[in-house]
Chain A
Amino acid sequence: MPRPLLPANDGINLIMKNKAMLITGGTTGIGLATPKLLSAEGAKTSSVLSYFEEYFTPDGDAPLSGHSTGQIARHIHSLLDRRGTCQYVPQQPVGGLRADVFVGHFWSFLDYCRHNTFGRAIAVYPIADSLWTTALLKERAATFGVPMPWWDLPPASFDHRATMEAADAVIVVGNRFTLHTYAPEHRCKIVLVNYAADTRLRPATEGLAPPGSFCYVATHCDLRKGFMDALQTWDDLGADGPSLHVIGATRPPWDRLLAGCRGHVTYHGFVNSKEPRYASTIADCRFAYLPTYSEGQVGTLLEAIHLGCVPITTLASGLPEEVLAHCIIVEPGDIDGQRRAIRDAAAWSDDMFAATRGRLRRVAGRLHDWARFEDRVGSLVDRLAGVAGVGVNG
């Protein structure tokens, strides 16, 4: 059973000694050092996974299990469980744990590493570099005169650099744009992965939604998700222009700004993705518009693709380049450009839309696949645990 946190000094000293040993001892060639805790070849891998219990619990249906965070946790747990014993622990750090491999959401990753004994540690960052994002949003918030979305950022006590340094590997969910938001010195340990939409969503149909129908879907409609861009873009499209269906929570001042938008906008409020009307509202639109500023990889766009939409989004969406090739790309903050893109999309013929959607589904279906996700993360775990060929000596 996990114990409460050890006194800081005990844990830190112990682990720092262990870390030093890992760095300096037993290296053969360029391959990774063989950590003392790791299982022998062929043996099972013991692991610890730390994530958010609101999103994932191994033996129950967490309230937010349909969100990308919950989906990612579920599949990481599954792949770790198949490799041996996997102990699931909450975000609030506990001490006294020992395992070959620790996989943790980045928020409390460092505390777990400091207070426990792990052979290897993998941090999961389902977002762009948090320092990069914070700097960008501060500037945008000042420009627009809106508050920073603090609920969307790591806690103030979070130490990004130390977390990156402590990790043996960092799983970043996103694309090359996402990767390049990270500091150059950290990119050598980053492994990019794609994930997939919640497979429990109803399957996509071949039907065509009405032309000129768009949706904007986010958990929180706010600064980071490009909501100001969306409002400004729609403001000048006119009440008889293309229709925008907005799904997501709005906090002040976003509710007021939304109410003041002169475009053709229908606000549905926050809708849990488990509710049927979540899928039906999206499926009734041709295009999913999300001019986001910073992401890991946008789960709502994966869902929208699954439900039959073509995304209009930014490189920051984190969708892989092969998928973006079949989307409409806009620049964050370029309102004129976004308005042109919306008008152009609204004028697409049925054939053009259907052909693009078909290509998009094929590529997305191939790249965004949970089996593929588990293979990629699983081989990383195996490599670090010494089960698969390590380093380059093999």
Chain B
Amino acid sequence: MMADKITLEIARYSPEHDQEPHFQSFEVPVHKEWVVLDALNHIKDTVDGTLTYRWSCRMGICGSCGMMVNGEPKLTCATFLSSYAKNGEKIRVEPLRYFPIVRDLVTELSDFLAKLKKVKPWLLPKDEPPLAQGEFLQTPEQVDRYKQFSMCINCTLCYAACPVVGLDPVFVGPAAIALAQRYNMDSRDQGAGERTAILAHPDGVWGCTFVGECTRVCPKHVDPAGAIQQYKIAAVLDWLKSFVAPRGA
């Protein structure tokens, strides 16, 4: 029989008062349909209004509510209390790993956003066709080549899972590389050459050792690890070609 209450141990960090994070326990009612985000909202509304965290859509598409739940990166809007209550477990909620912490459960994302911008995750067509020519047309096959990588919601769960992100602050990281590959594989894009400098670089794909944790934790099944390994092969072919074909200006 499931308990009607569950304990959440939540990481608290207040830059005004604290030198480092500490845990605070809260007891929350277990409703069958409640997720961890509901529990956090309940605490903020009725117990401690200073609890600080990000959330928005509460349906797994905005990517805001990522946190460590019992040591695993999860979207808190998609993690049910009942999965822990039925085992009699407590729920430990911490900010996503490997990011600086601003306050409580809020991480500092500017480094990730900078890396994302560097890979130019937008279409880079060589020659813009005139508007009169109409829309770009893509076959289902052409869409299928990049569709999986386009599902990324920038939730950074993969960054919290990847040990290389934690060990090497300049590593570009799973989501950024997967998104770069999403555009490289898009038939409307001719910008692969502009992305080479940051991707085919020791801090780019070569830093990845295919741990595979990023793919395991991704809530949208993007498979960033696959995207990275596919890029490595493309980079090898590119490197070989660079000896045969001279480069233009």
A binds B: no
Give chain B's interface residues, CB within 8 Å of chain A: none
